[in-house]
Amino acid sequence: MPPHPNIALPRLIAHRGLSAHAPENTLTAVRAAFDIGCHWVELDVQLLGDGTPVIWHDPTLKRCSDGHGRLSRLSMDEARGLDVGSWFGDAFRGERMATLADMLELLASLDMGVNLELKVGRNRSGTELADTVVPRLLETLPPERIILSSFDLAALHHARSMADASRLPIGILTESITQTWQSRCKALDAFSVHTDWTRLTARRAREIKDAGYRLLCYTPNDPTAFARHWRWGVDSAISDDPACFAGIAPPPDL
């Protein structure tokens, strides 16, 4: 294992901000997570058509805004005109799409940690995304407050070529853990493995923990069903609704 920063990873990480209670991937959703005592969030980052990095999950605008069409065709000027809160509820009307810069500034001011997911769309370049995101991330947050993850291995390899493991903790995202998980982790000097909690097995969890990697699961919102995952050694749950874990073993951090 390469030298990694000493990350005090919490048991519970708010998925796309506190997305059960606020519009996902917004500044408001991150403040809401902080307000309930959740000091780490998972967020998705992509590039607009003009190259501006923004916090957004989908390739399109329809589900989470009053706009339509593809994110990759949008300019920042056009993005500023979108309402990204009303779809979730009237109380969030007027919420604006967060740029990476706005979001990093907020996270730094609250001393929060972020699992930032490089979301590489079809026909998009993961290396271009990493080129844009990694320097800004490392300029704004200390390594102890960062995990950079992606399903896109090329993007992660490019990120690793830009920064060593002591400055940039990298997490491999995978829907299910295949036999090659360890060679992929080694090749990347990875810090962590992030996987779909419904497909994890006790055996794979033990392998990952025995090899010294952190193990994170997305997106459990059912603490009772997740109880055995804690017993398997999972470090953190990336949940839409971390508060639903309160009072359920192991002792959560809320």
Please, which residue, 44 or 235, has the CB nearer to ligand G3P? Answer: 44
Q: Tell whether residue 136 is a contact of ligand G3P (CB under 6 A).
A: no
Please, which residue, 118 or 244, has the CB nearer to ligand G3P? Answer: 118
Contacting ligand G3P (CB under 6 A), which of 197, 218, 230, 245? 218
Contacting ligand G3P (CB under 6 A), which of 57, 124, 167, 209? 57
Contacting ligand G3P (CB under 6 A), which of 18, 71, 97, 173? 173
> Least Å distance between CB 90 and ligand G3P?
25
How many residues at the interface with ligand G3P, by CB under 6 A? 10
Q: Parallel, antiparallel, or unpaired: how do β-strands 53-55 and 146-150 relate?
A: unpaired
The span from the CA of 109 to the CA of 197, in Å, is 31
- Using CA atoms, how far residue 227 sits from 42, 195, 222, 240, 251, in Å, is 21, 16, 9, 17, 11
- Using CA atoms, how far residue 146 sits from 3, 51, 225, 230, in Å, is 15, 22, 28, 22
CB 229 within 8 A of CB 197: yes
Q: Tell whether residue 117 is a contact of ligand G3P (CB under 6 A).
A: yes
What token pair was written down for 21?
């209670």
Contacting Mg ion (CB under 5 A), which of 44, 152, 240, 253? 44
**Residues from 93 through 122 that contact Mg ion (CB under 5 A):** 117
